[in-house]
A and B are shown apart, each in its own frame.
Chain A
Amino acid sequence: MTRFIEKSKVDEYLARLRQGETSALDGLYGETSKKLYALCYTYMRNQYDSEDALSETYVRVVKSIESYKGENGFNWLYTIAKNICLNMLRDKKRQAPTDFDNEETVNTLGLSYSDEPKCSDESGIIALSQQVLSEKELRIVVLHTINELKFKEIAQIIGGIEATVRWCYNNAIKKVKKEYERRMGND
């Protein structure tokens, strides 16, 4: 039930933004930033690039608001974020590796970051998942658990069939559980 309310709220904010109401951007950010950041993180795999991708997503939303068709706002946002991440990864491949030796680096938003994302969560389940799962598996797990998407919706976003997504998810959960229990046993 919450998900439907959330989705129509997103459509409402996007419709207002389309009419030139910039104040709607604030509400849209509040409603969507966590989920879009989580998606970006599964592609970029670090805080620095995920923040850049998130920022570029909202810039692109504003620039191309005319192409928003008035429904499925969340899917539209997911597609934009996904494409931005894929482009950024492509650009990164083309560029020579950057020297990150300096202690403090600043991203394009002018915010500093340390190489390792700061983990405020005690369980560190994402950090653990990142170590044992493939990029695709981590994406499926994050979209299903944190973003609360159904397997069918995930298949539409990342491409593929529902059965494969479900299988990948179950497989990934097994892997994480095994590693988690192994570490707990060692402790």
Chain B
Amino acid sequence: MTDKELELMYKSSKELEPRKELKKKILALAIDTQSPSKTTVAEPKTSVYKRLKLWVPIAACLVLAIIIGAAWGLNSENYQTVYIDVNPSVAIQLNRFDNVSGVEALNKDAQGLLADMDLVGLTAEEALCKVIEAFDKKGYLDGEAELYISTEKNKDTSGELLERLKKRAEETKGNKGYTVNTCRVTEEERESAKDAGISAGKYHVISQIIELDSTYTVEELKDMSMSELKKLQKELRK
């Protein structure tokens, strides 16, 4: 069966048609709502003092609850995510203070690496170093490997954070042969990456390849390592 034949099946399908008897009922209901009553009941007047007497303690309690909640929440919430990709792909969730609040392995290679690591509570830079060291130990950063660090574009501090992480990654790298790359990903890319089951950083690179040659699909490219993807990107740009 061709794509066109399938499209025709959808077009001629009668499954998604509203029942005929609906029309009358819906139109009657909609017309009924058209003339809203404009009469309003006058509110009884209350003195400003009485109103304040009631609202001030409530407001004070609310403010206190918000402050306590915010202090606790800020430390444990996931504010932004940093993606680290070589072939293993790791997502590090950070709170507002750029401390690690959660870690996620995004593919099988990463699962093995993260099994013995506890990164929660470390600063973003410390966590990055630990992950890079683990990648290096297992040989993922040998030769001309490509290390990608990505942050979320829509977070205020993500640009500055990315700079700091890049600097730390370059220091950790020393004179080894791999390359440190950085990028910032959009919310849409994060959503699509989630659907495809890959990291947002990897999805960003894959999208750039598809823009260069639309015959490629995410499915085809998602199991390639970052260095393979970069090589392909370079070839397509020639």
Contact = CB atoms under 8 A, between A and B. Distances in A.
A125 B27 contact: no
Interface stretch (A4-12, A80-88, A93-101, A138-146): A138-146
Contacts of A62: 30-31, 33-34
Q: Is the interface of B mostly helix, strand, loop or mixed?
A: helix
B30 A136 contact: no
Interface of B: 1, 3, 6-7, 9-19, 21-23, 25-27, 29-31, 33-34, 36, 188, 191-192, 195, 207, 210-211, 214, 217-219
A54 to B, nearest CB: 6
A92 interface: no
Contact of A126 (B15, B33, B210): B15
A180 B1 contact: yes
8 contacts: A25-B31, A37-B17, A59-B29, A63-B33, A123-B13, A125-B10, A163-B207, A168-B195
Given A163-B207, A177-B6, A37 B16 contact: yes
Given A22-B34, A58-B29, A181-B1, 7 more contacts: A38-B16, A51-B19, A63-B33, A121-B13, A121-B15, A164-B188, A164-B207
Nearest to B218: A167
Contacts of A50: 18
A161 to B, nearest CB: 5
A55 interface: yes
Contacts of B10: 125-126, 141-142, 145-146
Interface residues of A, number: 50
A164 B191 CA distance: 10
Given A109-B26, A176-B6, A159 B31 contact: no
Contacts of A167: 210, 217-218
A121 B10 CA distance: 10
Nearest to A165: B192
A29 B19 CA distance: 13
B191 A160 contact: yes
A159 B25 CA distance: 32
A145 B11 contact: yes
A33 interface: yes
A29 B23 CA distance: 8
Given A51-B18, A126-B16, A167-B217, A59 B30 contact: yes
Contact of B219 (A59, A171, A173): A171
Nearest to B203: A164
A136 B195 contact: yes
Closest 3 CB pairs of A and B: A145-B10, A126-B15, A37-B18
Nearest to B192: A164
A180 B217 contact: no
A157 B15 CA distance: 22
